[in-house]
Amino acid sequence: MTAGGSTPKLVIRVVVLALGAALLEIVAVSQISVFGVNADLTPLVVMSIGLLTGSVSGAAAGFGMGLFLDLALVQTLGLQSLIYTVIGYAAGRIRELRDPQGAIVPLAAGAVATAIATIGYSIVQFLLGVDAPVSFLLVRDILTTIVFNTVLAVPVFAVARRWLTPALPDDPARRRRRAYTTGGLSPLSRA
Amino acid sequence: MYDKTVRRRRAVLVLLVVCSLILLTAYFGESPGSPLHSVQRGFLGVVSPVQDGASRALKPVRDLFGWFGDTLDAKKQRDELQKELQSARKEAIANAAAARDNVALQKLVKLDTQIGTDQMNPVTARVITRSPTLWYSTVSINKGTSSGVKVDQPVINGDGLVGTITAASGNSSIVTLITDHTSGVSALVNESGVAGVVQPAVGNPNDLLLQYIRRGDQIAVGQNVVTAGSKSARYESLFPPGIPVGRVTKVDNQELDVYQRVHVKPFAQLRKLDIVQVLTAPQGAATP
């Protein structure tokens, strides 16, 4: 699944994380309203899985999590899975192409993932046909949710990293960088 | 090796997107009794005990966060309620006289206009999950077909109308709220009897629209909107008559429009649903 290949341990950990987050979201987090909106952990978790494990496992986790939400909430099947597949894949590609290490990365990726989830959901709903008038407050709520989720992106990413890191295969590029930044391969240390 | 990885990555993405699109297309074109809907109901039946258990376990956490929000809202609500109390006192005095006349008239025509929801076999249920989207569309409850809950039955809470049952499994059901974009409730203004259809303003759970009200009809802010119930043998309503829906907050009367647009604030706080009742034998409504 990842650049270094997936292990059964990693697959199990991804599944447990995705299912746990989806359950936590629908039974608790979605019922806690702050400034009129509730946080949505699910796109953040999919983004985190993508950023940590790569595009293929990110897309697969996104598809599975979306399908679980569609089934458990009796929504239009395929709607959330389509959107979350895109989020997981995009987050994974960021890791594969740039492998960014800055603290701001989960923050920015969380904002973009939430924007894709909320705006994408609304666009697909419109494409499927909405008879009722739509309130302008929907736009305000989308923006508030994006801000709210952006704040939560860092702790969610930290929890996901803590949970998935023991099962992640060792990436040679990362190992080189880690060694360099900690002095292992530094020219100064060799001198 | 690199080409193989790229090909595999793209193939997985295409496969997952195509699977999603096939599911979306198939589900959207299906009738509610078809295989995909059955699979969904079966899945709901399997996961609902887990959801119910998790919901009970996490209730203290929800209550803790809810307490902070409630405290902030409490002051604002107190001021609003004080104003409402003042106007309610005035109304109560006027209503006492009207009530005496009403009792006499009811005796005359032998007509019981009470809602009497206690005679509609209400099944009390607890909200266990809520759709996390911003469209305020569905919640699930911990009662299903084993308690007599069926599709299309109306759902209320202590404040008023909440929605209808749209899917039911053994021990859980999905309630589509009146704020869902597919919802439409035949309703009338209690004070004047002017009838229309209540539809949501999607994205705003505190604003419903009473549609198809002619410009000439007199509707004032503060009047109450209730379900109209069965008015036609051909197109029976799912809701019994007289269930409170909301209060008129604003009337848009544009000169060029044929109809007035009446804004209604729902009585039921749809963001904070906890306990609801399913009317399993709604009298005066279409039999589900």
Do B225 and B166 fall within a single domain?
yes
- Residues B204-215 have a mean pLDDT of 85
Higher pLDDT: B249 or B119? It is B249
Looking at the 3D structure of chain A, how many domains does it have? 1
Confidence of residue A65 (pLDDT cuts 50, 70, 90): very high
Domain region containing A19 = 8-190
Predicted local confidence at residue A2, as pLDDT: 45
Do B171 and B115 fall within a single domain?
yes
Kindly provide the ipTM of the predicted complex, given to two decimals: 0.80
Instruction: Compute the Cα dihedral for A94, A96, A99, A103 and give only its sign.
Output: positive
Please identify among residues 88-107 of chain B the ones whose CB lies closer than 8 Å to any CB of chain A: none
Do B56 and B35 fall within a single domain?
no
Higher pLDDT: B237 or B43? It is B43
Do B61 and B171 fall within a single domain?
yes
Residue for token digits 């994006």? A146
Does residue A3 lie in a domain region?
A: no
Please identify among residues 210-269 of chain B the ones whose CB lies closer than 8 Å to any CB of chain A: none
Confidence of residue B112 (pLDDT cuts 50, 70, 90): very low
Q: How many Cα atoms are found within 13 Å in the side-chain-facing hemisphere of B92? A: 6
Confidence of residue A61 (pLDDT cuts 50, 70, 90): very high
pLDDT of B12 higher than 50: yes
Mean pLDDT of chain A: 83
Residue for token digits 């946080």? A39
pLDDT of B34 higher than 70: yes
pLDDT of A178 higher than 70: no
Whether residues B13 and A28 touch (CB distance < 8 A) is answered with no
Using a CB–CB cutoff of 8 Å, tell me whether B109 touches chain A. no
Higher pLDDT: A93 or B48? It is A93
Do B267 and B233 fall within a single domain?
yes
Do B23 and B115 fall within a single domain?
no
pLDDT tens digits, A131-142? 777 777 888 888
Domain region containing B7 = 2-50
Looking at the 3D structure of chain B, how many domains does it have? 2
Higher pLDDT: B134 or B205? It is B205
Using a CB–CB cutoff of 8 Å, tell me whether B169 touches chain A. no
Could you tell me the CATH number of the domain that includes residue A66? 1.10.1760.20
> Of all residues in chain B, what percent carry a pLDDT higher than 70?
85
Query: With contact defined as beta carbons under 8 Å apart, do B288 and B152 qualify?
Result: yes
pLDDT tens digits, B83-102? 888 788 778 777 776 776 66
